[in-house]
Structure 1
């Protein structure tokens, strides 16, 4: 699990405002694998959610079924603009989280 400086800065700002958080790549219908950020203890993890690492103390999870897709490694990044995750704590900020993987890069 890696993170860019931009992701670490966004995460630090969110933690300063909300306290400890977790991140999950849910694979859901609306935001797909966009990393979603929630207050620690307020998001109910599924029984098959796997902890794949942590970024500056924030645990990162994904469903077990998605694990093979991210075997090449995962980098948490943040990019300018508002994300679509209305429930994620990065919503309403001038940057949002994205997941990057060498497996998903175009040649």
Structure 2
């Protein structure tokens, strides 16, 4: 089976789309960064370093300091796919991030997005 082409894309190429989506809906880039850091364990400096070194998405998630243990609580659909049923671990992490970004853009409170 061939690898999904998304895995080789630089995370820095996807990040501006996330920023545009949340800013267009009235949220701040800092909130997006907070969500990404919560999921991956990167601190803001580490996140910026990964954006600058143009790590691919596979490396971005593989190098994540500590994926949050509550990420299993992220459920729902993204593009018609149930996040919790995705078999490939990397694709599931990508879908979890997509779901968090969707929730942020829809105005959901940060406490609920971060599964507190």
TM-score higher than 0.5: no
TM-score, structure 1 length as denominator? Answer: 0.26
In the superposition, the TM-score normalised over structure 2's length comes to 0.25
User: Which of the pair is proportionally richer in helix?
Assistant: 2
